[in-house]
A and B are shown apart, each in its own frame.
Chain A
Amino acid sequence: EPEVTQTPSHQVTQMGQEVILRCVPISNHLYFYWYRQILGQKVEFLVSFYNNEISEKSEIFDDQFSVERPDGSNFTLKIRSTKLEDSAMYFCASILRGGGESPLHFGNGTRLTVT
């Protein structure tokens, strides 16, 4: 069964540094998402992406965050200047079609640790 893949599995960075989290969604999927999960807390929506543009974003997704689909397969999340509170598990997800009925297909996540 096709999977969403995320790299790296763990990223350690210093406060103020830029990080790029990478995702390869399932190949024929059209809608892409980033969620994050701070340890012990709920899974929070960051951003959704469709047709090469952001379709929706949450309050968390401020100017420090950006997403890109540079080559038709990768889907990246960039944090320009990391803060301690950005430490979390970041999940990429994709679905074939919109409308809400399709469940999300998640990757295994990238654990980001900001020191």
Chain B
Amino acid sequence: AQSVAQPEDQVNVAEGNPLTVKCTYSVSGNPYLFWYVQYPNRGLQFLLKYITGDNLVKGSYGFEAEFNKSQTSFHLKKPSALVSDSALYFCAVIRSGGSYIPTFGRGTSLIVHP
């Protein structure tokens, strides 16, 4: 079985400050990890992924995430938050060599204050 935990329902940050949205996963074997963003009344949009290689992956809109195998984490980060980053963020995991069906977390609402 595979699962994802996003421990924070909501993250508040001031514009210009760094942001972190947390994700931990549980999977047997090697994980494929993804971050998606959802704006109001829209579907989920792909931000970035980790498949293999460098633990720090960079994605759209200045976001990056670090894969930490020992902590089974894949936290999303951005050095300087924008008000327009306010949205719902979902982490997802796939077990490499498994069914390739992504399992999503519950989502974290990011609110960036001006």
Contact = CB atoms under 8 A, between A and B. Distances in A.
Contacts of A42: 104-107
Contacts of B105: 42
B99 interface: yes
Contacts, number: 54
Given A98-B100, A106-B36, A108-B42, 17 more contacts: A42-B104, A42-B106, A43-B90, A43-B104, A45-B103, A48-B101, A56-B101, A91-B43, A93-B43, A93-B44, A99-B100, A101-B32, A101-B51, A103-B34, A104-B46, A105-B46, A107-B43
Contacts of A44: 104
A4 B43 contact: yes
Contact of B102 (A4, A98, A104, A107): A104
B94 A106 contact: no
A43 B107 contact: yes
Nearest to B52: A101
A43 B44 CA distance: 10
Contacts of B104: 35, 42-44
Interface residues of A, number: 25
Interface in A17-31: none
- Size range of the interface on B? 20 to 34
Q: Report whether over half of chain B's contact residues are helix, strand or loop; otherwise say mixed.
A: loop
A103 B106 contact: no
B97 to A, nearest CB: 8
B45 interface: yes
Given A41-B106, A100-B96, A103-B34, A108 B43 contact: yes
Interface in A74-115: 91, 93, 98-101, 103-109
10 contacts: A4-B43, A45-B102, A56-B101, A91-B44, A93-B44, A100-B32, A103-B49, A106-B43, A106-B45, A109-B42
A45 B98 CA distance: 15
B28 interface: no
Interface string B82-114: 000000001000101011111111110000000
B70 interface: no
